[in-house]
Structure formats: C-alpha cells, structure tokens
Amino acid sequence: MPFALRSSVCRFFVACCLGIAACGGGGDDEGNDGASGTGTLTISIFGLPSGTSAAITVLGPGEFRQTVTQPSTLSSLAPGSYTISAANVLTGSALLKPQPPSQTVGVAAGGRAVATVAYEET
C-alpha cells in the first residue's frame, strides 16, 4: 500500500475511533470502577507493525507513572489529569512518530477516559 494511502487510512481510522469514544453513552455503571471513587483510562495504539512495542509514559496525580507498550486499560486511577507522552519508535526499516506526541486527559471518579496514539512513518 502506498505511504500516502496508508497514512490517510490510518488518520481516518483514528478519527473514527475518537468519534466512537466521544459518543460514550450507555448505562449508569459504564466505566464505573466501583465504589472507590476511581476511574479508568483506555489507551489505544495504532500504526505499529505487529510485534512492535509502543513507547508511552503516563503521568498523573500522586506521582503516578506507568509505561505502556501495548493497547491497555489502566484501572483504579485517582481522579485528575493524566499526561500521555509517546516517543518515537525505531523499527528495522523506519522511524515511526506518534501523533499526538503528548496529550492530557481527565479521569473522573467512576468515569472512563480514552486516549489514542497513532504512529506514522516519517
């Protein structure tokens, strides 16, 4: 697949995922992480070749720090702002850059936040 077409398809896919995530909806207990007053953060990752790990760091309240290398859902998170920072990934044949390289999302008590990182070849 030509690079321009692959890049366009990747961007379209990410836009669709963000749109679906923004819709939310559902029952009263959707995304509820129990009575503890914590929330969840789902991190979606696209554009990496099979078997390639992402290079993502999540920082949050109370000195929270976690490395994410694959699509993940982090649970039992304290409410607050979380910064998702993604670094470039070097494969055997290409340098893949994350879009966006950094983003901040809010996690609410009993809520579910979503962050998406799409890697693109440069």
pLDDT for residue 92: 85
pLDDT in tens, 18-65: 444 444 444 444 444 454 699 999 999 999 999 999 999 999 999 999
- Specify the CATH number for 3-121; select among 2.60.40.10, 3.40.50.970, 2.40.40.20, 3.40.50.10310: 2.60.40.10
Provide the pLDDT confidence category of residue 93 given band limits of 50, 70 and 90: confident
The whole-model pTM stands at: 0.72
Cβ neighbourhood burial of 22 (10 Å; 0-12, 13-18, 19+): exposed
Identity of residue 89: V
Distances (CA, A) of 26 to 36, 52, 103, 112, 115: 21, 34, 25, 12, 19
Lowest mean pLDDT among 22-26, 69-73, 74-78, 85-89: 22-26
* Strand, coil or helix: 7: helix
Mean predicted confidence (pLDDT) in 70-78:
97
Domain ranges in the chain are: 3-121
